Amino acid sequence: MNKENVALQPVRGTRDLIGEDQRRHAHVIDTARRVAATYGFDEWSTPVFEDTRVFARGLGDTSDVVMKEMYSFTDRGGESLTLRPEATAGVCRALVSNGLTQSLPQKVFYAGPMFRYERPQKGRYRQFHQIDVEVLGSAEPLADAEVIGCGWAILQALGVAKDVVLELNTLGDRESRDAYRAALVAYFSAHKDKLSEDSLARLERNPLRIVDSKDEGDKRVVADAPTIHAHLTEAAAAFYAKLQDHLARIGVPFRENPRIVRGLDYYSHTAFEFVTSQLGAQGTVLGGGRYEGLVEEMGGPHTPCIGWAAGVERLSMLLAEPPPAPRGVAVVPVGEAAEAAALDVLQALRGAGIRAEMAYRGNLKRRMERANRIGARAAVILGEAELARGVAQLKDLGTGEQAEVPIAELVAKLG
């Protein structure tokens, strides 16, 4: 068989968004954008690819994403570029590049495609989409509460909050984490024979990552591992308590989960995940935490930050019903002489913000079939006799009722 004649398919781990899938996708992003705006977040857009160092610094040279999952390439100028695997590093780079570190805090909303080379599975693709919220330049627990509250409000607006639970933890400050790290190394060193190969490699380099291991043997060891709460400094404990007070006041329910950790050194204090049991193993639909040091990695000053990312695909799957397909108006000219007048009607309707279409050809029957096929709510029928009297036949395609309406009143009638 000639390969040139084989129908091409989407690349593995990607998909087309059409019809209901696209409406679900757009609804998640549009809802998040609207809710985030009420919280005072401004939308940013950064390039879909960056200097590879942006992500190598932001995610850590030894992270699984950097080592195994990034789509990196050398361009014709010899520069190493990477398709963004996440949004936060690019946002922090943009903060520095655009001289905004003198105008803090910055409250950022972000939406767009991300890219990771990983095994495609339910709700997870190699090109996937995220919504992000970041507060750059605030060290107060109130910022954490507001960021989490914004996420909760988006889940409520989408109608999926009933299927989602907020799990909360603290990573403490640097002193707390140093004490906790030492406790973890001591504990896991006594159970080396039960750890996976990956966890053994992480034992000295990044023991917090063992706590987050998905290996079943590791999970059994982790079940009895110490938690950070016994190692929190007085200041870190006060920060965590204040955050919980704020969440209670703004009505965000949560449960504590001491096993939520972040592997990179620049994460601190708050770590959280909104999880669901509706998507199988891929339970986290929105997660984030507080981080420090990332803006410095991009060449900026010390800047405390808090943010989260949510998977659009996973949120789309939680929607009980897709948003309805848009229902517009079909303009149906009868005879060539009516087409010019039909164009005037089309433009008037569109100018008033009313979705309107007209079949490019066909007799009355075929044009009406087209109107029903596109799900139009009404048809404006224009024949020579109607035009002579300055009227149109307006047919409700839901009820079948039809009435004569002056052309000059169509916009008001259909608006």
267 is in an annotated binding site: yes
86 is in an annotated binding site: yes
The two beta strands, 80-83 and 106-115, are unpaired
43 is in an annotated binding site: no
The two beta strands, 80-83 and 49-51, are antiparallel
376 is in an annotated binding site: no
88 is in an annotated binding site: yes
Q: Tell me, rounded to whole angstroms, the distance of Cα 298 from its chain centroid.
A: 24
Which among 154, 337, 148, 139 is positioned nearest to 246, based on CA atoms? 148
Q: How many CB atoms lie within 10 A of CB 398?
A: 10
Give the DSSP letter of residue 236: H
106 is in an annotated binding site: no
Q: How many CB atoms lie within 10 A of CB 319?
A: 17
Buried b (16+ CB within 10 A) or exposed e, 188-223: beebeeebbeebeebbeebbbbbbebeeeebeebbe
117 is in an annotated binding site: no
Return the bridge partners of 357, or none.
330
Q: Which helix (H) or strand (E) holds 286?
A: strand 284-291
Binding site residue list for L-histidine: 86-88, 116, 130, 134, 262, 266-267
Binding site residue list: 86-88, 116, 130, 134, 262, 266-267
